[in-house]
């Protein structure tokens, strides 16, 4: 990479750190740090939501899907559109419109309201661990992009560079730094894809006729995907819109119900069709470039013999000239950081609000509570970097984290919001049996009926457990 590209990239990273430092000076308390003062606009919230949800994992993951199955990979983010709009219609009015939640900072606090403290603690643990996995997946995505672009940068060093930048500005600035940088980062990503990445990749591979001649016909259809994969996306991605801590933080941060609903509708449209098709299209063109021999100069590291998720960064490194490569890399790193910072804030919020604050009275003042939050955010960030160093696949790590949360938390939160007979025992058993089923089936790697994903059975077990134990052990009238 030319020195000009490196300087552009370094300038971008320093700018992100500058935003974090700015809000370090502006934040006055825990409301500012975790929920942005509860006064954010729909534009900033909406772009932050889609930047967080799509981000680096899906950006790099979509490229990998486009490389392997073509345009059919876009179905993954169609479920994001459905989830966002369902949450806007059914979830947001019940959360933002309920005065009882006006001072909440985390998603598991709902479980204490609907059920009891013990259920809330377990929900907090599941959420914290899940978002630790999310954070790791984004750092891994950044490392893959960096190591695939910077020839002399190995994966381990890339992990620490990406991780430290994301962690430091998040620790300093909190959710305000996250949301405002998300807005900037998403604009940079969209501009980079629309004006640089897609047109130059399209021209470099020879246009539509060359794409048709190079790849298998099914790669250009929307049916090159199994119904089991569709079910997997439905049960993994749609429910996350109802249990995602990052999303609840943004609901709390919105000015009112109308603002939050508008933000979710905006986010859904950006997910599909906009980002879905741009992401898989670039991955598809990376496949074309690989088959045309454009990566042969890389020798044994040719993408056709290694990791499909490296196809996109190799394509960009190959086709983009000096200056534009630095801009495009900044755009993709924007996507990665926009998700990593949000997931880090979510896990930190769970640990501080749902655990430490429950068991310690040493952090009563806003100032001491905010300092504690910063130290916890730093510690979780370091753990996430270490975890990322042990994984190899971005999309798998991210979807495993999704499944872990969804199978344990989705049914109890839906029950608390919409079923009057739901009980603490029902919620507790649903989380334990649902989460355990998914983890056990995933770890055993057994062949399941119809080749369905373990999360399908985890949610089924969770729902059955929830209903049975809620009926057998009903909620006490005094609660």
Distance CA 243, CA 283 (A): 30
Q: Highest mean pLDDT: which of 62-71, 218-227, 378-387?
A: 218-227
Is the pLDDT reported for residue 305 higher than 60?
Answer: no
Is the pLDDT reported for residue 62 higher than 80?
Answer: yes
Instruction: Output 156 or 392, whichever has higher pLDDT.
Output: 156
pLDDT at 449: 92
With beta carbons less than 8 A apart as the criterion, state whether 48 and 178 touch: yes
Distance CA 193, CA 304 (A): 23
pLDDT at 303: 47
DSSP 305: G
Phi, psi of 40, rounded to the nearest 5 degrees: -80, 150
DSSP 352: I
**395-449 pLDDT, tens per residue?**
566 666 667 788 989 999 999 999 999 999 999 999 999 988 988 888 787 889 9
Is the pLDDT reported for residue 293 higher than 80?
Answer: yes
Question: Could you tell me the residue ranges of all domains in the chain?
Answer: 3-393
pLDDT at 68: 93
Q: 236 vs 191, 232, 384, 467, 476, CA distance in Å?
A: 29, 6, 22, 21, 33
With beta carbons less than 8 A apart as the criterion, state whether 118 and 428 touch: yes
**204-233 pLDDT, tens per residue?**
999 999 999 999 999 999 999 999 999 989
Distance CA 186, CA 330 (A): 11
Any idea which of 45-54, 331-340, 349-358, 410-419 has the lowest mean pLDDT? 331-340
pLDDT at 464: 97
Tell me the three state secondary structure of residue 254: strand
pLDDT at 304: 47
- Count of C-beta atoms within a 10 Å radius of residue 35: 25
Distance CA 86, CA 256 (A): 18
Instruction: Output 376 or 175, whichever has higher pLDDT.
Output: 376
Report the chain's mean pLDDT, rounded to a whole number.
84
pLDDT at 366: 66
Is the pLDDT reported for residue 302 higher than 60?
Answer: no
Is the pLDDT reported for residue 1 higher than 70?
Answer: no
pLDDT at 392: 63
Q: Please give the model's pTM, rounded to 2 decimal places.
A: 0.85
Residue 279 exposure: Cα atoms within 13 Å on the Cβ side: 31
**130-142 pLDDT, tens per residue?**
888 878 877 877 7
Q: Can you say how many angstroms the Cα of residue 112 is from the centroid of all Cα atoms in its chain?
A: 25
3-393 adopts what CATH topology?
Sodium/glucose cotransporter (1.20.1730)
**83-122 pLDDT, tens per residue?**
999 999 999 999 999 999 998 989 999 999 999 999 999 9
Distance CA 166, CA 5 (A): 20
Distance CA 244, CA 257 (A): 18
All residues at 6 or more sequence positions from 441 whose CB lies less than 8 Å from its CB, including other chains: 448, 454, 457, 458
- The DSSP string of 363-429 is --SHHHHHHHHHHHHHHHHHHHHHHHTT---HHHHHHHHHHHHHHHHHHHHHHHHH-TT--HHHHHH
**227-258 pLDDT, tens per residue?**
999 998 998 889 989 998 889 989 999 999 99
Distance CA 478, CA 459 (A): 30
Q: Highest mean pLDDT: which of 9-18, 44-53, 77-86, 363-372?
A: 77-86
Q: 276 vs 77, 263, 301, 311, 472, CA distance in Å?
A: 6, 18, 27, 17, 45
Q: What is the mean pLDDT of residues 271-283?
A: 91
Tell me the three state secondary structure of residue 40: strand
Residues facing 254 on adjacent strands: 40
Is the pLDDT reported for residue 301 higher than 70?
Answer: no
pLDDT at 116: 93
pLDDT at 394: 55
Query: 217 burial class (0-12, 13-18, 19+ CB within 10 angstroms)?
Result: exposed
Any idea which of 154-163, 310-319, 331-340, 361-370 has the lowest mean pLDDT? 361-370
Is the pLDDT reported for residue 309 higher than 80?
Answer: no
pLDDT tier at 59, thresholds 50, 70, 90: low
């Amino acid at each position: 990479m030319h020195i000009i590209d490196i300087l552009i990239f370094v300038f971008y990273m320093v700018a992100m750190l500058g935003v974090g430092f700015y809000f370090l000076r502006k934040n006055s308390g825990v409301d500012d740090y975790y929920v942005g003062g509860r006064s954010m606009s729909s534009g900033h919230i909406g772009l932050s939501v889609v930047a967080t949800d799509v981000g680096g994992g899906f950006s790099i993951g979509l490229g990998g899907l486009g490389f392997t199955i073509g345009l059919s990979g876009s179905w993954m983010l169609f479920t994001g559109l459905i989830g966002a709009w369902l949450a806007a219609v059914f979830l947001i009015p019940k959360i933002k419109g309920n005065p009882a939640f006006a001072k909440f900072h985390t998603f598991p606090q709902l479980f204490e309201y609907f059920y009891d403290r013990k259920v809330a603690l377990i929900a907090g643990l599941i959420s914290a661990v899940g978002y630790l996995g999310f954070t790791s997946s984004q750092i891994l995505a950044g490392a893959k992009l960096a190591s695939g672009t910077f020839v002399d940068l190995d994966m381990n060093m890339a992990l620490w560079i990406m991780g430290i930048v994301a962690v430091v500005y998040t620790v300093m600035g909190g959710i305000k730094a996250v949301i405002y940088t998300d807005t900037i980062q998403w604009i940079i990503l969209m501009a980079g894809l629309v004006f640089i990445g897609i047109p130059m990749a399209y021209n470099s591979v020879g246009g539509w006729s060359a794409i048709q001649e190079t790849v298998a016909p099914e790669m250009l259809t929307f049916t090159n995907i199994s119904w089991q994969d569709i079910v997997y996306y439905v049960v993994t991605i749609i429910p996350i819109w109802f249990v995602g801590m990052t999303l609840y933080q943004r609901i709390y941060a919105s000015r009112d119900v109308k603002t939050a609903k508008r933000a979710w509708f905006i986010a859904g449209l950006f997910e599909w069709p906009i980002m879905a098709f741009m992401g898989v299209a670039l991955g598809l063109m990376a496949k074309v470039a690989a088959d045309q021999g454009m990566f042969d100069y890389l020798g044994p590291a040719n993408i056709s013999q290694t990791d499909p998720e490296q196809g996109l960064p190799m394509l960009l490194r190959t086709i983009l000239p000096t200056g534009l490569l630095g801009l495009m890399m900044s755009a993709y790193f924007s996507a990665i950081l926009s998700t990593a910072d949000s997931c880090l804030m979510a896990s930190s919020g769970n640990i501080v609000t749902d655990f430490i604050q429950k068991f310690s009275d040493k952090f009563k003042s806003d100032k001491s509570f905010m300092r504690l939050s910063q130290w916890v955010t730093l510690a979780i960030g370091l753990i996430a970097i270490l975890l990322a160093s042990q994984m190899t696949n971005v999309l798998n790590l991210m979807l495993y984290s999704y499944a872990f949360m969804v199978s344990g938390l989705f049914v109890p939160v839906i029950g608390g919001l919409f079923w009057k007979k739901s009980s603490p025992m029902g919620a507790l058993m649903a989380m334990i049996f649902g989460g355990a089923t998914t983890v056990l089936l995933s770890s055993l790697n057994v062949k399941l009926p119809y080749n369905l994903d373990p999360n399908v059975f985890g949610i089924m077990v969770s729902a059955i457990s929830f209903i049975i134990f809620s009926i057998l052990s009903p909620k006490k009238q005094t609660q």
